[in-house]
């Protein structure tokens, strides 16, 4: 398997524009996590899905952020409208959750810069 | 108080020494615990996990768990300059939430 695939790897956009980040989890995995990483706040969990269903989105900073998982092989994280403070590296991770243990594997991340 | 706490470091050790990284967590219902390594500009990669009290060894790495004290540690024996990275502790709860600490930056000096 190619691992977790994220696109784009880098995104530069102007404030106010819509940004869509994409993630393809590892085939067969049933859990997917979206994280945001900054120097100040570290790795923050934004939302996670089990079997394509959003379980906890309490980490989503505000209504400008939304995430979907229409099927087991694809997820999106959308920011609309984007703001400079959204600049960060966004990671997607997937795992096969069973019996209380989940080994999550990360994608390469999307470095987002909002100017 | 953050759910998973780590000293941000940097922790500096000489080559060949033992590096000791520590992590505390607040949720007593946490079930399994993970150590990830992250090189600058790269994504986190899993080193090992532990879910039972005691020690678990994998090569030069040993994870230690004490659920009563809500404490997890990672020991790296015979530290190498290539071990220089940020080490992230992650805690998994029954709801499948995986929460990370802020990470400890380790520097191994030749």
pLDDT in tens, A40-81: 899 999 999 999 999 999 999 889 999 999 999 999 999 999
What proportion of chain A, given as a percentage, has pLDDT over 70? 97
Residues of chain A in contact with residue B95, where contact means CB-CB under 8 angstroms, are: 55-56
Residue A104 — pLDDT band, cuts 50, 70, 90? very high
B22: tokens are: 């520590």
Closest C-alpha to B72, from B60, B57, B59, B54? B54
Name the strand (E) or helix (H) holding B19.
Answer: strand B19-25
Contact (CB<8Å) A45/B94: no
Residues of chain B in contact with residue A109, where contact means CB-CB under 8 angstroms, are: 43
Query: SS3 sequence, chain A?
Result: CCCCEEECCEEEECCCCCEEEEEECCCCCCEEEEEEEECCCEEEEEEEEECCEEEECCCCCCCCEEEEEEECCEEEEEECCCCHHHCEEEEEEEECCECCECCCEECCCEEEEEC
| pLDDT tens per residue, range B63-104 | 999 999 999 999 999 999 999 999 999 999 877 888 999 999
Cα four-point dihedral sign A12, A54, A1, A93? positive
Decide if pLDDT at A98 tops 90. Answer: no
Cα four-point dihedral sign A16, A18, A24, A25? positive
Contact (CB<8Å) A102/B32: yes
Q: Which one of A42, A46, A50, A54 makes the best mutation probe of the B interface by having the most chain B beta carbons within 10 Å?
A: A42
Closest chain A CA to residue B89? A43
């Amino acid at each position: 398997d190619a691992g977790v695939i994220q696109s784009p790897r880098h995104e530069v956009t102007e404030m106010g524009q819509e940004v869509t980040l994409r993630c393809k989890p590892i085939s067969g995995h049933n859990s997917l996590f979206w994280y945001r990483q900054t120097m100040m706040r570290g790795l923050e969990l934004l939302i996670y899905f089990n079997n394509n269903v959003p379980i906890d989105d309490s980490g989503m900073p505000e209504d400008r952020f939304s995430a979907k998982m229409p099927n087991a092989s694809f997820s999106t994280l959308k920011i609309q409208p984007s703001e400079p403070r959204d600049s960060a590296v966004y990671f997607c991770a997937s795992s096969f959750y069973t019996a209380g243990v989940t080994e999550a594997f990360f994608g390469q991340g999307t470095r987002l810069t909002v100017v | 108080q953050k759910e998973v706490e780590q000293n941000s470091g940097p922790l500096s050790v000489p080559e060949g020494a033992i590096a000791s990284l520590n992590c505390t967590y607040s949720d007593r219902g946490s079930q399994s615990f993970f150590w990830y390594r992250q090189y600058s500009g790269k994504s986190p990669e899993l080193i090992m996990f532990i879910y039972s009290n005691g020690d678990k060894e994998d090569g030069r790495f040993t994870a230690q768990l004490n659920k009563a004290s809500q404490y997890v540690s990672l020991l790296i024996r015979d530290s190498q300059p290539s071990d220089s990275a940020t080490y992230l502790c992650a805690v998994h709860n029954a709801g499948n939430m995986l929460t990370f600490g802020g990470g400890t930056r380790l520097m191994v000096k030749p």
